[in-house]
Structure 1
Amino acid sequence: MEDIKNREDIARLVVAFYEEVRNNTEIGPFFNRVITDWEEHYKQLTDFWESNLFHRGTYKGNPAMAHSGMDKASGHTVEMKHFGTWMRLWITTIDEKFSGELAERAKNNARKMSTYLFLAIYRGRS
């Protein structure tokens, strides 16, 4: 298997991953409730991961605000276990498609991001 090399690889990863998320009975309802344009979501997340992995400024957004909004729309029911499910799906999808330094960085950066986002959601509830 090859490593993540470019935007096209990231787009392939993002689409495959969110197909898993959308169909997951535990976390799919959170995403399906708030995302109305999946193609736009794929583009935004491709921009996010391209910026994250290749240090490009393509992403223009606020992940903490987006996730806090999702939590609010879900009656403040997002829990840490949901981030665990998200991480399991993310790591599994990466491992099925890629291997190498950037693939590992994508997993490690997602671990850090999941903690940050959960804390942002928690703080947003007060």
Structure 2
Amino acid sequence: MKKLESREDIELLVNSFYAKVIKDETIAFFFNDIANVNWDYHLPKMYSFWETILFGQMTYKGNPMAVHFPVNEIAALEKRHFEQWLKLWKETISEHFQGENADMAITKSENIAKLMAFKMNLARRL
């Protein structure tokens, strides 16, 4: 196992993760059918997002919460969806990486999933 320590490592992680996501019975439809994700645009954005989160490189520009609200209006992003997202993320990390940054990627993802699930639920109530 190697340490998660470079942009190239993040690219491997993100690419491996989304290869699972687009086939997943629980969450793939959000990406494939509802958001109709342009992967050539989305993947580099995710590389930058995680590079900013894990390495403080400040390469990410955007508002991840704002991007998810329109999807949530079409189909509710529920706690179970975020749990599945987390399961696939943690599984992908454990397949490729170990160490402090791998652990931090898990902790950060758990915090992100909790916050997003809360805000998506709140938005549906308003």
Fold match (TM-score > 0.5): yes
Structure 1 residues 29-61: Cα deviation after superposition (integer angstroms, max 9, x where no partner): 011120431121110111000000001111111
Please give the residue correspondences for 1:93-108 in structure 2 after superposition, counting only pairs within 5 Å: 93-108=92-107
Residue identity in the other structure for 1:11: E
Structure 1 residues 83-107: Cα deviation after superposition (integer angstroms, max 9, x where no partner): 1100000000000000110000000
Residue identity in the other structure for 2:47: T
Matched, 1:41 2:42: yes
**How far apart, in 2, do the equivalents of 1:35 and 1:58 lie?**
24
Q: Which runs of 5+ in 2 are unaligned?
A: none
Q: How many residues align?
A: 124
**Residue in structure 1 matched with residue 90 of structure 2 by the alignment:** 91
Query: What's the offset of the Cα at 1:67?
Result: 1.6
Q: Which runs of 5+ in 1 are unaligned?
A: none
TM-score by length of structure 2 reads: 0.94
**How far apart, in 1, do the equivalents of 2:94 and 2:14 lie?**
13
Q: 65-74 vs 51-60, which deviates more?
A: 65-74
TM-score by length of structure 1 reads: 0.94
**Residue in structure 2 matched with residue 29 of structure 1 by the alignment:** 29
Query: What's the offset of the Cα at 1:119?
Result: 1.5
What value does the CA root-mean-square deviation take over the aligned residues? 1.0
Residue identity in the other structure for 1:61: G
